[in-house]
Amino acid sequence: MSVSPAPVSPAVGLAPAQADLLDFVRRTAADAELIASLPLDPEGRTWVRLQGPGGSEAWLIGWPPGTGTGWHDHADSVGAFLTASGVLKENSLAARLPTDGWRTLELTEGVDRARRLPAGEGRSFGHHHVHEVLNESPDEHAISVHAYYPPLPRIRRYSRTGHVLRLEQVERPEDWQ
């Protein structure tokens, strides 16, 4: 199902910047009818693809209590996301990782960041941003809006044990469409 929220920003012919994507997710998350239309599953995440600005990829995502993404990045895409209802937590790394040619990295002290994102709060991020997003609530769903440009060419998934980050899998669009 593809849903088109209100028309969007960037000038014709220009790729949307992080600020454009953040503006889009803010405006989309404010659409109470759209947010209420997302079917929620008590056990697994649900999602609907949206029409993003300037050819971007956008998603409306439902998060049951206790669910999360695991550590990942969005490769060469920039992005933005915002919590529309409930509360999400983002754990991220404040370090630029090599993009290719490694399987295991030892992270230094002080690179971990955590953000609590209640309804109405979100953020944008640059290329190769490594993070995980979680709904830590024991009993409430959360809903969020996400946008990426260029449309996701791949997602790299990682496992983490202490300060060791390990590349586990590379997903392509056909894996989640």
pTM: 0.89
Average pLDDT, the chain: 91
Q: Is residue 110 part of a domain?
A: yes
- Examine residue 126 and state whether it is found in any structural domain, yes or no: yes
Q: Residue 131's domain is classified under what CATH number?
A: 2.60.120.10
What does the pLDDT read at residue 177? Answer: 62
Domain containing residue 80: 15-175
- pLDDT at res. 128: 85
- Let me know if residue 35 belongs to a domain: yes
Number of structural domains found in the chain? 1
Q: Could you tell me if 97 and 103 are in contact, meaning their C-beta atoms sit under 8 angstroms apart?
A: no
Q: Where is pLDDT greater, at 173 or 125?
A: 125
pLDDT value for 97: 82
pLDDT in tens, 122-168: 999 998 899 999 999 999 999 999 999 999 889 999 999 999 999 99
